[in-house]
Amino acid sequence: MRTICFYFQVHQPYRIKPYRFFDIGEDHYYWDDYSNRSIMRKVAQKCYLPMNKLLLELIREHEGRFKVAFSISGVCLDQFEAYAPDVLDSFRELVATGHVELLAETDGHALSALKSKVEFSRMVERHSAKIAKHFHGYTPKTFRNTELIYSDKIGEMVYDMGYSTILTEGAKHILGWKSPNFVYTAASQPKLKVLLKNFQLSDDIAFRFSNKTWPDYPLTVDKFVNWIREIPAEQETLNLFMDYETFGEHQWADSGIFEFMRALPAAIMRDTSFTFSTPAEVAEHGKPIAPIQVPVPISWADEERDLTAWLGNDLQNEAFTKLYELEEDVKLLADDYDIQRDWTYLQTSDHFYYMCTKFFSDGDIHAYFSPYDTPYDAFINYMNALSDFILRVKRAKKALAKAKAETDL
C-alpha cells in the first residue's frame, strides 16, 4: 500500500467579548457575537465555501479515487449552525459522496484530556452526538485530539472510548531515526493504531507555500510531486495534516493555493505510485511496523511540538487550574443549558493559546491568531469572564441544594 492521507482541522472558537472587572456579577453573557459572526462569514467566503466546492469537484472528477478527512470541532459546528448554514450544507454534500471521513474529537476543542478522563469522555460523546445530528447519523471511527495532542495515557483513554485509530504529530523527538510514513501502534495499547503527520511536507503547504524567503519558493505541483517520488518505496503512507484555513485564509487565493490543490491529485496519481485514502482506510489496510512511545504529551504546535503553546507559563496554568476546579460542581448542573454551554466554550484551547508569551521562534504565529494586543490582555479578559462564571456556578449549586432540601421535606 502506497497512499496519501489528507486530513484537515476545521475549527473556530467562540471569542470572548471585552469583559471588564466591573462586569463581573452584572453581565453573564461572555461571547463576542459580532466578531464571531463576522470572522465566520469571512472565513466561509475565503476558505470553507470555495475549498469545499473544489474538493467536491476533485472527488467527482477522479470518481472517488481522491479522498480526504476532516475533524470539525463542536464549537465550529455550533457557529456553522448559527452563522453559516450554507457551509454546513456544503460539508454534508462532501460527506454524502462516501469519500470523505469525519473524525471524532472534543466538542469544545478542549484540553480536557490533560486534566480529566471523565470530562474528556463527556466532550467526545457530545461531539459524536453533534456529528450524528448534522450528518444524518454519521458515526466517526477515527479519533483526533485537540491540536493533535497525544501521549501514551491519552491513547489508552481513546481506545477505552471505542476508537482503534488516532492521529498525532510525527515529532522528531519521539520518532528519532524512524519515519512518520508508516502505521504505528500505541505503546500503551497495542490495538490502537497511530497515524503520524509528516510535518515537513505538510508544513510546506500549510506554512511555507507563500513565503518568498523560503529557499524552495515557489512551491509548484511538479516540485511537490518530485518530493513525494523521493520517499523510499518501503514507506507506505504519507500523512498530510493541516488546518483547513490554510486554503484561502492563511494562504490567500492570490498565492495560487487553490490552483495548486486543484492540480495536485491528478499529478500524484499520474506520476507516482501513491493512491489516496482516509485515515480509517490507512489503518485498515496498513500493517503497523512498531509501537510508538510518547510518555510526555506532544502536539503539532510550534517548534517544540509540546504543550507550551497553551500551558507554558504561569498565566496559562493559573487560568487552566481555576477552570477545572469547577468540574465537579458543573456536573451537578447538567440541566442548566447556559452553564453547560459556557463551560464548554470556556474550555476551548484558543483562550489559553492567546495567553502564550513566546516572543521568539513562534511569537509571530501566536500574535497572528490572537485578537488581543498582548497575552496579558488575553489573561485578564478571560479571568474576568471566568470569575463571573464561578459566581454563577456557586449560586446555581446553592439554589439546587436548596430546592433538593425543600423537596426532601
Which residue numbers are catalytic?
147
Alpha-helical (H) ranges within 241-313 are: 257-271, 279-285, 308-311
Those residues with Cβ within 8 angstroms of residue 131's Cβ, 6 or more apart along the chain or in another chain = 72, 77, 102, 104, 138, 139, 140
CA–CA gap between residue 91 and residue 94 (Å, rounded): 5
CA–CA gap between residue 247 and residue 403 (Å, rounded): 52
Strand-strand pairing, 165-169 and 193-197 = parallel
Q: Give the CA count within 13 Å in the CB-facing half-sphere of 332.
A: 14
Distance of CA 358 to CAs 151, 299, 341, 350, 403, Å?
Answer: 23, 16, 30, 15, 48
Strand-strand pairing, 165-169 and 183-186 = unpaired
- Is the backbone of residue 25 left (phi > 0), alpha (psi -120 to 50) or beta? left
